[in-house]
């Protein structure tokens, strides 16, 4: 099972910090999400991209885990030389790919 099978995500950024919220589709899956998706596992998943600590905040009434990832944007979105370091534009562009 992949994360996308039980949850959706939203992202945001401010300075050199990225926030990522993961929200389950069905409330009964929140316990699984909370157990499996730790700050340490998220930091390991983004190894090489996130150079600072990752903080996790649980919002069980919303079925959401919110992660704050420090030093994640190459100095900040407007300063980074990386192509769309936060990935919003690349993922949106891929959605327009035409399958034949």
Residue of 34, 52, 31, 32 whose CA lies nearest to 43: 52
Residue of 18, 16, 20, 17 whose CA lies nearest to 76: 16
What is the rounded CA–CA span in Å between residue 95 and residue 61? 31
What is the pTM assigned to this prediction? 0.77
Residue of 89, 85, 67, 73 whose CA lies nearest to 23: 67
What is the rounded CA–CA span in Å between residue 99 and residue 25? 27
pLDDT of residue 76: 63
How many residues belong to the chain?
Answer: 100
- 3-94 topology per CATH: Alpha-Beta Plaits (3.30.70)
- The tens digit of pLDDT for each residue in 28-80 reads 999 998 998 899 988 888 788 789 999 999 999 999 999 898 887 766 665 55
CB 65 within 8 A of CB 33: yes
What is the rounded CA–CA span in Å between residue 17 and residue 58? 18
């Amino acid at each position: 099972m992949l994360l996308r099978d039980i949850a959706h995500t939203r992202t945001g950024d401010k300075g050199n910090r990225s926030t990522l919220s993961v929200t389950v589709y069905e409330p009964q899956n929140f316990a699984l999400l909370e157990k499996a998706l730790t700050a340490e596992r998220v930091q390991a998943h983004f190894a090489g991209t996130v150079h600072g600590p990752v903080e996790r905040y649980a919002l069980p009434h919303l079925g959401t885990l919110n992660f704050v990832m420090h030093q994640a944007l190459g100095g900040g979105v407007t300063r980074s030389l990386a192509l769309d370091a936060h990935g919003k534009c690349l993922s949106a562009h891929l959605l327009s790919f035409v399958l034949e």
